[in-house]
Amino acid sequence: MRRPIIAGNWKMNKTSSEGVELTKAIVGLGKGLDGVDIVIAPPFTSLAAVCSTVKDSPIKVAGQNIFWEKSGAYTGEISADMLGEIGCSHVIIGHSERRQFFGETDEMVNKKISAAFSAGLLPIVCVGETLEQREAGRAKDIIKGQIVNGFKGFDNSAASKIIIAYEPIWAIGTGKTATSDEANEMHAYIRSLLTDLFGAALAKKINILYGGSVKPSNSNELLSKEDIDGVLVGGASLDADSFISIAKSALNR
């Protein structure tokens, strides 16, 4: 059985002091939630303070992005080693907002995943189609391209550390959610792609999270589906009560 992962992507929200307050509330409310991994992804400026706030708790911390080089003249970028050293265990890679606003391609995603592995970080790799692509019947082709190109060149030992987040772009921050059946169908398809790439035994172990307007009112239904192994939450992760209530729905699986 895959252990569910509930990840919160704070995006460009919360100053460092606000982030510490939110983290303290999450740590407090999250006490005793043993059957689930909770990961929070604050902005870079809050990471060090949030990492020290979660130190004695099971809550894990992710960066929202990394650059693929280890160091050097790359103004404004952050390396995987830098995140690892301050206590991050995870990193979000290829979020649709990075692909849309910062021109990230599958090739760049592939290099960032490699960099994450080199630093011992677990990558949460985001894939998803636009509404236009879905309506044109191209959703599965788009996801296949993102998975096949994003995961090119990884052996099974590396692939076992990948976490995938399926986030249909039309559902992110819009209040529209894929139905649990639509989401589960895509998750099962992603698992079939992983089976082709890495074999059935490994594909069964990889966590596939759903993201896109997840909130306490729909998380139970989404997380009841066989291939939905957790959620990546944006807006609702900025409120400790909502975020932890979503995390609790993973315990009913």
The DSSP bridge pattern shows strands 163-166 and 230-233 to be unpaired
- Which sign does the torsion angle of CA 32, 16, 209, 245 carry? positive
Residue 39 lies near ligand PEP (rule: CB under 6 A): no
Residue nearest to ligand PEP (CB): 234
95 is known as an active-site residue: yes
Q: Which is nearer to ligand PEP, 79 or 167 (CB)?
A: 167
Q: Which of the residues 217 through 246 are near ligand PEP (CB under 6 A)?
A: 232-235
Q: Which is nearer to ligand PEP, 203 or 231 (CB)?
A: 231
Which secondary structure element, helix H or strand E, spans residue 81, and what is its range?
helix 80-86
Which secondary structure element, helix H or strand E, spans residue 173, and what is its range?
none
Q: Total residues at the site for ligand PEP (CB under 6 A)?
A: 13
Q: Which amino acid, one-letter code, is at 203?
A: A
What is the crossing angle of helices 106-118 and 139-150, to 10°? 40
Shortest distance, position 228 Cβ to ligand PEP, whole Å: 13
Count CB neighbours of 138 within 10 A.
Answer: 15
Residue 110 lies near ligand PEP (rule: CB under 6 A): no
Shortest distance, position 157 Cβ to ligand PEP, whole Å: 28
Which secondary structure element, helix H or strand E, spans residue 172, and what is its range?
none
> Which one among 59, 88, 91, 172 touches ligand PEP, defined by CB under 6 A?
172
Shortest distance, position 95 Cβ to ligand PEP, whole Å: 6
Q: In terms of C-beta density within 10 A (0-12 exposed, 13-18 middle, 19 or more buried), how is residue 17 classed?
A: exposed
**Marked catalytic residue, from 90, 97, 167, 187:** 167
* Residue 40 β-bridge partners: 8, 61
Instruction: For residue 19, give the nearest of 29, 30, 9, 34 by alpha carbon.
Output: 9
| Candidate segments 99-107, 116-124, 133-141, 167-175, binder of ligand PEP by CB under 6 A | 167-175
**Marked catalytic residue, from 90, 95, 104, 129:** 95
Q: Which is nearer to ligand PEP, 159 or 246 (CB)?
A: 246
> Which one among 64, 65, 110, 213 touches ligand PEP, defined by CB under 6 A?
213
Q: Which amino acid, one-letter code, is at 92?
A: I
Residue 214 lies near ligand PEP (rule: CB under 6 A): yes
Q: Residue 137 is encoded by which pair of tokens?
A: 């019947």
> Which one among 9, 65, 79, 242 touches ligand PEP, defined by CB under 6 A?
9
167 is known as an active-site residue: yes
Shortest distance, position 146 Cβ to ligand PEP, whole Å: 15
Q: How many residues does the chain have?
A: 253
Q: Which is nearer to ligand PEP, 9 or 110 (CB)?
A: 9
Q: Which amino acid, one-letter code, is at 115?
A: A
Distance between CA atoms of residues 178 and 47, nearest Å: 31
Distance between CA atoms of residues 26 and 202, nearest Å: 32
Q: Contact residues for ligand PEP (CB under 6 A)?
A: 9, 11, 167, 172-173, 211-214, 232-235
Annotated catalytic residues are 95, 167
